Structure 1
Amino acid sequence: MKIDIQAPPPYEYVDPPSYTARVNTASSPPASSPAVSPTRPTIERCYKGKNLVLCLEQNRLRTLFPIYGLSEDITGHVLIKRSIKKVKFIKVHIEGFEGISVVGSSGGGSRVNKKWVAVLKASQTLLEAPEGHRDITCMEGLYPFTFTLPSYVTGGTEPLPPSVSFIRGGMTTDVIYFIRVEMIRNGRLRANEGWVDDALDTSLPA
């Protein structure tokens, strides 16, 4: 069974942020040392924000962009650039949406009816304030995460669809996936309010 939800505004036709490819040569042997089975360097795709950096490790297919298969692990880490105070929590979300747009006529013009359905929703908490504390100071460093891409849609038995975009008979269908990092902090706001600071999201072909 699919769960109808409203389309989240940040996910509507947003280009992924620019990334930088970083080569980790730690796993490669020195040039002067012979190796029977040399290991190829690991390439990470990094998406940078003001305080956070989201890095995805290269998948087993070693494609230019991150592409994953069903039941495959998505591994990476979040780099905190500096010490940050008043942090309530830092979470990583992986989300997928299937959108259907129907183009029709209205008063001589065209209109688009959009319907979005969630097909994947999962999250991990990388850091949170201990029980009884409103917030904590987040120290700079690496916070790893691993998601296993499921074979079925969240809460259903239908196979998880691949990323796709096509038009047929006036109907446009899009399936998109995102990994999003969210950091919530306490600030000079009303009681029990916080703000989203340095939220990162990147498209994730699957």
Structure 2
Amino acid sequence: MFMRYFARFYSAMAGPRPVVLSGPSGAGKSTLLRKLLKEYSGVFGFSVSHTTRNPRPGEENGKDYHYVTREAMEAAIDKGDFIENAEFSGNLYGTSKAAVQDVKDRNLICILDIDMQGVRNIKSTDLNAIYISIQPPSLDVLENRLRNRKTESEESLQKRLHAAKMDMEFSKEAGVFDVIIVNDNLEEAYGQLRDALLEEINQVKKVNMSS
């Protein structure tokens, strides 16, 4: 019964391969994604993650995150509704199967911005994703970037640097990522990202043009 359920689920997940994008805060993921979405409008879509944290100013429910109670999210996790979930700073975060399927149903490449714990969880599933890690040139460069943002307390910054150090080590593990991009030069890093996804991009554009 269990295996039949997952066979049906992953069969239903036919469509463009999702992209699992990971890397520490400050490595430049958001900047690279903005460039990608600008150049390839109508090709990519985001799975909207669930979280138990409160919305920040300007964030919208259903757009930035699905904001839910811990009780509701734990119940959904127990039911098997999530591809991956993790806890960070006392809050749960997760990617639901329905959120990914919604993007794929529109013949879009689903982008999942996931931390390393989430990557480990997804790697244990049959989700046929492209795994890409965006890394800073060094921990010192990352610290300068985060300090220049002036959005972090010292305690928060140290937590992020500790997480980043583990993330950088994780990216070196054999067989985890298909592509590792060191974002030292933005244009070069973007070129590597685009090249890694070009085959899927062209397939989506071809299908959309013929439909």
Higher helix share: 2
Q: TM-score range by the shorter chain?
A: under 0.3
TM-score by length of 1: 0.24
Higher strand share: 1
Q: Compare CA radii of gyration and give the structure with the larger one.
A: 1
Q: Which has the higher contact order (CA 8 A, sep 6+)?
A: 2
